[in-house]
Structure 1
Amino acid sequence: MAAPRNLVVEVGGLRDEENGEDSPTSKKPIGTKLEGKFPLSRWEFAAALAVFFIFSMALFFIFMTMPAAEYGKLKFPRTVSDLRALKDHLARYANSYPAKFILGYCSIYIFMQTFMIPGTIFMSLLAGALFGVVRGLFLVVFNATAGASSCFFLSKLIGRPVVNWLWPEKLRYFQGEIAKRREKLLNYMLFLRITPSLPNLFINLASPIVDIPFHVFLLATIIGLIPASYITVRAGLALGDLKSVKDLYDFKTLSVLFLIGSVVIVPTLLKRKRVYE
C-alpha cells in the first residue's frame, strides 16, 4: 500500500510533502545528519546574515576612522613570510596610532573568532611580535574569549542544525562525555581547552547545544586558553626563526599541554572512580 500523500517520514522529524516545509513541531535529535539538505531554515539563515551584517558594518565604521593613507599597506597575512613582511609596517602604525591600532586589532580578531574565519593564529603571533609576552598574552586571551563567547551565543541562536549537519558523530560523543562529567564540568572543559583533544571551533559551537552553562564555558575559556596562547605569543618574539605555524606545536609542546590538561582532569577521573566502587 502506498504511503499517505501528506506525510513523509524523514531523518530528524516530519516533513509536509505538500508544502515542502519542516513541521514546526518536529525536533531534530542531536547527532542526526541531514544528507543533501541545507541545514538552516529561512529564518535561521536570515538571522545569521543579519548578525554577520551588523558585525561587518561595525568593523567597516571602525576602519573608516583610520588614516586613509594606510589602507593600501594593510594586508592580512596567510603565511609566516607574509607576517614578517607586515610586521615592520604594523609596528610603525601601532606606534603612531596606538589606540586605533588596538581597536582595529581587537575588532578583526573578535570578528574572525565569532564567524569561524581561519587565521587567528597569525593575529596571536602578531601580538607577541608587537607587544611582547605580557601585553600580547592579555590581548590574545581577551580577544579569543570575547570571540568564543560571541560564537557561543551565535550557535545558541542557529548552531544546532549546522553542528548536526557537519559533525553528527562528534556531537554525540561530546554530549555523552558532558553527561558523564556534569559534577566536574569545569575540569573537563579546562582539559578540552588546554589540550587539542577537540578543536576550539567545535567546542565554541557545540557547547550551547549540549547545555554547557555559559559561566562554565567562559571561565574554562579564559583559563584554558592561556597555555597555548602563551606558546604562540612567545613565538611571535622570534618570527625570523619560525618557518611555519606547524613548528609551534611539536611533540614536546603537545606533551606539555596534555600534561597540564591531565592534571586538571584528575579530579573528574577520581570522582568517576569513587562512583563505580
Structure 2
Amino acid sequence: MAALFLLATLVLGGTLFLVLPTLEPDDRPFLRIPKSFDDLKALNGLLKKYRDIYPSRIVICYVITYLFLQAFSLPGSMYLSILGGAVWGVPIALPLACTCIATGATLCYFISAAFGPALLTVPRWKARLDTWSEKLHQQRDNIVSFLIILRIAPLPPHWVINIVCPHVGIGLVPFWSSTWLGVFGANVIHTTIGGGLDEMTSAADFHLISWKNFFLLSAVVVGVLIPVGLRYYFKREVASAATVQDPDLLEDLPGDDRILAVGPVPLPKKPTSPLYVSKGNTFYSDRQVEQDQDIDDDDDEDDEDDEDIILEAGPAIVIKSSQDGSSSGSATH
C-alpha cells in the first residue's frame, strides 16, 4: 500500500510538472492542495490567471488532483469542489466534480478489492464487515437508493463505504452511479459557494449549515426515496392480486402445527375394476393371482418323485426288418 501511494504521488507530481504551464516565480508558492480558506483564495486567483491562456491544461491538473485525493481518501475534496465553482461556474463545475468524485471513489474501490483481503484475516475487521454485509443484504432490493442515502448522510464517512463495498457484493456500476447521485446535492452547495468566493472574506461566509442547504438535501433524499416507495407499493399490489387469484398463496399463520387427535388407520377401498380380486383386506390383480398359483403348483411338483409324464401320444413309428433272401447278410434297419 505504501508503494502504491508513492507511485501515485510520483504520477501526480509528474503530471503537474508536464501539464502545468510555466508559472511565474511569485505564483509558485500558491500551487498547493488547499487545506484552508486562505489557500483556497490564493489557488483560485492563480487558476483564474492561467485559465483563459491554458484552459485544457488547467482542467487536466484539476481532474488528476481530485482523483488522487479521492483514491486515497485524503482531505481537500470540498475545497476543490468550491474551487471548481469559482473557476468555471456551477454549470461546468457541478458535473465535473461529481464525475471526479465517483471515479476517484472507484479507484479506492479497486485498491480495497486488491489489498482488503489481507485485513479480513483480522477477526475484528471481519466482524465489522459481516455486520455491514448483513445490513446491505437487507436492502438488496433498493441497494442504489440505500447507497445514495449513505452518501448524503454525514455518517459513516465516505471512505468507509468505498472500502467496504467491494467485499459485500456491490457491483461496479451501482457503486459508481450511486456515488455520482449521492454527492450531487452536496456538490450543488459547494459549487454554488464557489461562485461567490471572490466576495467572501472568511470560511464563515460559506454558510454550509443553513435552511436552504437543509431543504436542498432533504429534497434529494425525498427524490431518492420515491422509487423505493413506488416499488414497495406496486409490490404489495401485485402480491394482493396474486392472493385473490390463488388463495393457496396466503402465508401460514404463525405457530407450530399440533396434532389434535389420531383416528383409525383407514382400510383401502375395494376397487371397482374387475381386474382385481380380494384376499382378506388386500387386493391383488388377476395377473398377480395367476403368478402366485403357478408358484404354488411348481412347489407341489417338486415334492413328488421325478417321473416321466406323457403329455400327448403321437402316431406309432413302425420299424421294419429286411426278410428278403437277396438282402441276406445285410444289417437290420
TM-score normalized by the length of structure 2:
0.60
Choose which of 128, 139, 146 in structure 1 pairs with 2:96: 139
Alpha-carbon distance, 1:120 to partner: 0.9
Which stretch has the larger CA shift, 123-132 or 175-184? 175-184
Alpha-carbon distance, 1:237 to partner: 1.0
Q: Does residue 1:104 correspond to 2:57, yes or no?
A: no
Question: AA paired with 2:71?
Answer: T
Distance of aligned partners of 1:180 and 1:107 in 2 relative to their CA distance in 1, 3 Å threshold: same
1:241-252 alignment runs, 5 A limit: 241=200, 243-244=203-204, 247-250=207-210, 252=212
Alpha-carbon distance, 1:159 to partner: 2.8
| Rg larger for | 2
Choose which of 160, 179, 203 in structure 1 pairs with 2:137: 179
Q: Does residue 1:220 correspond to 2:178, yes or no?
A: yes
Cα pair 2:193 2:206 within 8 Å, conserved: no
Match of 1:55 in 2: 8
Work out the CA distance in 2 between the residues paired with 1:58 and 1:82: 23
Question: AA paired with 1:80?
Answer: F
Q: Does residue 1:196 correspond to 2:154, yes or no?
A: yes
Match of 1:71 in 2: 28
Question: AA paired with 1:158?
Answer: F
SS of 2:73's equivalent in the other structure is: coil
Cα pair 1:191 1:262 within 8 Å, conserved: no
Cα pair 2:83 2:194 within 8 Å, conserved: yes
Distance of aligned partners of 1:56 and 1:134 in 2 relative to their CA distance in 1, 3 Å threshold: same
Work out the CA distance in 2 between the residues paired with 1:59 and 1:85: 21
Query: Would you tell me which structure has more helix in proportion to its own residues?
Result: 1
Cα pair 2:185 2:216 within 8 Å, conserved: no
Work out the CA distance in 2 between the residues paired with 1:150 and 1:187: 21
SS of 1:234's equivalent in the other structure is: helix
- Alignment coverage as a number of residue pairs: 229
SS of 1:112's equivalent in the other structure is: helix
Match of 1:264 in 2: 224
Deviation by residue 1:31-85 (Cα, 9 ceiling, x = unmatched) = xxxxxxxxxxxxxxxxx23322332222122122132545343133221232123
Work out the CA distance in 2 between the residues paired with 1:83 and 1:169: 41
Among the aligned pairs, what percent are the same residue?
Answer: 27
| Unaligned 5+ runs, structure 2 | 240-250, 252-333
SS of 1:229's equivalent in the other structure is: helix
SS of 1:96's equivalent in the other structure is: coil
Deviation by residue 1:1-34 (Cα, 9 ceiling, x = unmatched) = xxxxxxxxxxxxxxxxxxxxxxxxxxxxxxxxxx
Distance of aligned partners of 1:116 and 1:245 in 2 relative to their CA distance in 1, 3 Å threshold: farther
Work out the CA distance in 2 between the residues paired with 1:167 and 1:261: 30
Work out the CA distance in 1 between the residues paired with 2:147 and 2:171: 11
Cα pair 1:195 1:258 within 8 Å, conserved: no
| Unaligned 5+ runs, structure 1 | 1-47
Alpha-carbon distance, 1:152 to partner: 0.6
TM-score normalized by the length of structure 1:
0.72
Distance of aligned partners of 1:135 and 1:165 in 2 relative to their CA distance in 1, 3 Å threshold: farther
Question: AA paired with 1:233?
Answer: T
Match of 1:7 in 2: none
Which stretch has the larger CA shift, 140-149 or 260-269? 260-269
